Amino acid sequence: MNLEKKLADWQKQKFLTPKAAEKILSYERHKKANEFSYIMLGLGSFFIGVGLIALIAANWENISAGIKLGSAGLLLVLCACGIYICHLKGKTLLQEILLLLYALLILATIGLVAQIFQLQPEGLKAFVFWSLLCIPLLPLSSAQPLSWVWIPTFLISVCEQLGRQTWYQSWQNYISDNFAAGEGLFVLFLLTLIYAAIPQRLKGQAWYKSLQTWLIIGISMIAIYLDVFQGYYDAAAEEAGLSSAGIFALMLIALAAINHWQKQSQQTALLMAVLLLFSFLLQQNERYSLINELLSFIMTLSLLAVVLFYAYRLAKPRLINLAAGLIALRVLLGYFELFGTLSLTGWGFILSGFAIFISWGIWKKIASLSPIDKEEKTNA
């Protein structure tokens, strides 16, 4: 239904006076006219931009190094000025777009300098440099895209560069020795420690939210890796990853201590504890053995249970639904793994139904004891 018909209908229902309907209609027409001019201006700028890029590309070889570098510098300065003006005038959306463009221009300039001075590529070194240059830009952004790109770029490029050092290779072997996903867990631990140590006043920042998102992605990735691949089993191993376990245990204690000191929930510590425990256990048994299939199944459910518990406590219904949906999906996969045939799966489902009812009963009992519920009941 178009707007005119809607307005006529609302007038009939006496929700609107004819005067108000007229005002709405004229406002919407004016807005549409503005949209059209924005589209035309945008299209025009796009064609001019593409044309300029094509012209520069066609004459690239004939442009001297000095002019190339000068133009790159000028573009950077113009972009920085644009960001600053947008910041002063409070044009947030344009400021965010320009910040992204600025970060891209920095990367392009690094590439240009490398080409002009014939610098030799060394893996992802250019991205490490880019990440370092972009650190001061992170607090300037009030939206997540820049930090969302920055975090994985920084981590991947730094790990790649460190991986070229012999001391780091020895460390990689040590931490991953008989400990499934050891290096991934170590990096994740470092991230959770940083995340936990961030002071309260900085928690509203966009980069903090991006870090939160990447932590969830990191934990999920390691959980999926452990669930699907179950580490690697080395029958000849003598130490069974105990030295790595010791380091991880110390990091876990540090994480719990920081969380306690910062007066925040132990959610990350609990999630990491589950990952650590199951990673260690999975490593002790043969891959894809029945016990490891069960362990990986219990691990995923335990992680999701932690998420569900905190989602409930923090009253986040969407997260509750997501965690519950994922639990259901993992249970379904578990049945197919365990029972194989359809009839056995059917019996399994019936039994699970009863198990869920019992769990629900226990859950309600626990929830009734929680301080939030008590408070709500008192208020009611």
Partner 1 sequence: MLKKYTYLICLIMPIIILLGWTFSLSSAQKDGTEIVLVVKGYDPRDLLSGHYLLLTPDWQATDCGQFAEGQCPKQDFLKIYKYYIPEEKAELLEQILQNSKEVTAALVFATNKREGYVIRDLRLNNMPWQQWLEANHHEQNRKK
> Is 204 among the residues that bind partner 1 (CB under 8 A)?
no
> Is 139 among the residues that bind partner 1 (CB under 8 A)?
yes
- Between 33 and 135, name the residue whose CB sits nearer to partner 1: 135
Question: Exactly one of 64, 120, 341, 378 binds partner 1 (CB under 8 A); which one?
Answer: 120
The region of 14-22, 30-38, 102-110, 250-258 touching partner 1 under the rule CB under 8 A is 102-110
Burial of residue 235, with CB atoms counted within 10 A of its CB: 0-12 exposed, 13-18 middle, 19 or more buried: exposed
The CA R_g of the chain, rounded to the nearest whole Å, is 28
CA atoms of 188 and 203, how far apart (whole Å): 19
- In the complex, minimum distance from the CB of residue 117 to partner 1, in angstroms, rounded to a whole number: 5
CA atoms of 20 and 14, how far apart (whole Å): 11
The region of 20-28, 76-84, 195-203, 227-235 touching partner 1 under the rule CB under 8 A is 76-84
- Between 82 and 218, name the residue whose CB sits nearer to partner 1: 82
What are the structure tokens assigned to 196, written together? 């936990």
> Is 199 among the residues that bind partner 1 (CB under 8 A)?
no
Question: Exactly one of 10, 24, 71, 80 binds partner 1 (CB under 8 A); which one?
Answer: 80
Question: Exactly one of 7, 128, 134, 269 binds partner 1 (CB under 8 A); which one?
Answer: 134
Tell me the one-letter amino acid at 109.
Answer: T
> Is 8 among the residues that bind partner 1 (CB under 8 A)?
no
> Is 73 among the residues that bind partner 1 (CB under 8 A)?
yes
Question: Exactly one of 94, 100, 140, 256 binds partner 1 (CB under 8 A); which one?
Answer: 140
Burial of residue 301, with CB atoms counted within 10 A of its CB: 0-12 exposed, 13-18 middle, 19 or more buried: middle
> Is 76 among the residues that bind partner 1 (CB under 8 A)?
yes
- Between 201 and 365, name the residue whose CB sits nearer to partner 1: 201
> Is 354 among the residues that bind partner 1 (CB under 8 A)?
no
> Is 287 among the residues that bind partner 1 (CB under 8 A)?
no
> Is 133 among the residues that bind partner 1 (CB under 8 A)?
yes
- Contact between residue 143 and residue 206 where contact means Cβ atoms under 8 Å apart: yes
Question: What is the number of other CB atoms lying within 10 angstroms of the CB of residue 57?
Answer: 9
What are the helix (H) ranges across the chain? 3-12, 18-58, 65-89, 92-116, 125-134, 145-162, 166-176, 182-197, 206-229, 242-261, 267-284, 290-313, 317-339, 342-369, 371-379
Which residue in 152, 283, 154 sits closest to 221, CA to CA? Answer: 152
- Between 95 and 244, name the residue whose CB sits nearer to partner 1: 95
* Binding footprint of partner 1 on the chain (CB under 8 A): 60-61, 69, 73, 76-77, 80, 83-84, 87-88, 102, 106, 109-110, 113, 115, 117-121, 133-134, 136-137, 139-140
